[in-house]
Amino acid sequence: MKEVYVIGAGCTPFGDLHTRDAVAMAREASFQALEDAGVDISDIDIFYVGSVRSVTSGSFLGNALGVRNKPVTRVENFCASGMDAVRQAAIAVMSGQARIALAVGVEKLRDATRRGLGFRSFHPVFVFGATPPGLFALAANRYMHTYGIGRETLAKVAVKNHRNGAKNPLAHFRKEITVETVLKAPIVAYPFGVFDCSPVTDGASAVVIASRDVAEGLGKAQVFIRGFGLAVMHTEPMYDPSFKYTGFPVTTEAAGQAYKMADISRPLEEISFAEVHDCFTMTEILNYEDLGFAEKGEGWKLIEEGVTELEGKFPVNPSGGLKSFGHPIGATGARMIFEVYSQLTGRCGERQVKNAHTGLAHNIGGPGTVSTVMILSLRS
């Protein structure tokens, strides 16, 4: 398969975007990415749009961008929708189906008529009334009980990510917080308080993918997609007797696929930084272990020892993560690729990761139903 490059990326501010609908946000992010890449909308051979609730078909993006008679596909895969759209674009170019592809992630949630995602279940009783905070809280309680950590450790994840997000002009929340603030916040689903949870957010992000010959012709053969993986379990993994709730097997599987494709065997040494799915503070700690950055039961040590701070040995969520940047579900994965690309091209100012050469992006959704991992590197 052909080597493919990210040649441009764009992102709207994330937050309460009450004056912009999904069409306006998708258009804004897309034309930012096209301008960054130095290509025109007519140069794009194939389009993908990732969304969970705001988009019903590919024709949405066609209408938003004025595209006619070209392939446009909607991608929906829970919280992995945006990154899966980027993955589909990469596959289209790698296979030779397209020379240039555009992937867009978009979600409009702040004006929704109901709070959060809700939860769809095939079981008539067991998941009635369940919410994402409640389901991820089960994992948090099991991990805290098994490995003997307290809420203070979880709070340090929120503090770190808000500190990074305060440096990010596009982030939903640009304010530093303290451990005390996190611990004293109202409880949503124990052990999660308000500041342990990612916010409901509006936003869009877009990524332009191109073949090597196109990238070289544009002088953009700098950041290439080194590997990716996608794994899916059944819709309700909590009913699997082997599901321990101290980690998410789909992340481990998706990461294994990406590492194999990228020829990475020691992720903590071979990757410079990571953008991971911190929908809740505990989830980031579980991700450390599931992605192979720490041994099982020791992920919490990375946050306690400052390893994942912006100035630490292995920065995680330099953007501010979902916790501070925000989580418009279908846009998040594409936004992560925007962040990794921006870091590798040295555009991140005071939150720039030093000497960044390889970045990893990761989503999980469901919870524990689907995960995707993508690795980007600088061309040496």
CATH of the domain at 255: 3.40.47.10
**Is residue 42 included in any domain, yes or no?**
yes
**Is residue 118 included in any domain, yes or no?**
no
User: What is residue 283's predicted lDDT score, i.e. its pLDDT?
Assistant: 98
User: What is residue 130's predicted lDDT score, i.e. its pLDDT?
Assistant: 77
* CA nearest to 307, candidates 200, 170, 160, 147: 160
Tell me the mean pLDDT per 10 residues along the chain, length 380: 93 96 97 98 98 94 96 96 98 97 96 62 64 92 98 98 98 98 98 97 98 98 98 80 91 98 97 98 98 98 98 98 98 98 98 98 92 96
If 0-12 CB within 10 Å is exposed, 13-18 middle and 19+ buried, where does residue 55 land? buried
User: What is residue 122's predicted lDDT score, i.e. its pLDDT?
Assistant: 58
User: What is residue 119's predicted lDDT score, i.e. its pLDDT?
Assistant: 55
**Is residue 282 included in any domain, yes or no?**
yes
**Is residue 368 included in any domain, yes or no?**
yes
**Is residue 153 included in any domain, yes or no?**
no
**Is residue 137 included in any domain, yes or no?**
no
Point out the catalytic residue in the list 11, 79, 197, 348: 79
Expressed as residue numbers, the domain containing 217 is 4-112+199-374
Helices 81-94 and 329-344, packing angle to 10 deg: 60
Residue 358: left (phi > 0), alpha (psi -120 to 50), or beta? beta
**Is residue 370 included in any domain, yes or no?**
yes
The total number of structural domains in the chain stands at 1
User: What is residue 123's predicted lDDT score, i.e. its pLDDT?
Assistant: 63
79 is catalytic: yes
User: What is residue 243's predicted lDDT score, i.e. its pLDDT?
Assistant: 87
327 is catalytic: yes
213-217: which pairs have CB atoms within 8 A and are 24 or more residues apart? 213/99, 214/7, 214/99, 214/100, 215/5, 215/7
State the pTM of this model.
0.97
User: What is residue 315's predicted lDDT score, i.e. its pLDDT?
Assistant: 98
CA distance 241 to 239: 6
DSSP states along 145-166: HHHT--HHHHHHHHHHHHHHHT
Longest Cα separation, the chain: 58
User: What is residue 238's predicted lDDT score, i.e. its pLDDT?
Assistant: 73
**Is residue 146 included in any domain, yes or no?**
no
Point out the catalytic residue in the list 162, 172, 277, 327: 327
User: What is residue 269's predicted lDDT score, i.e. its pLDDT?
Assistant: 97
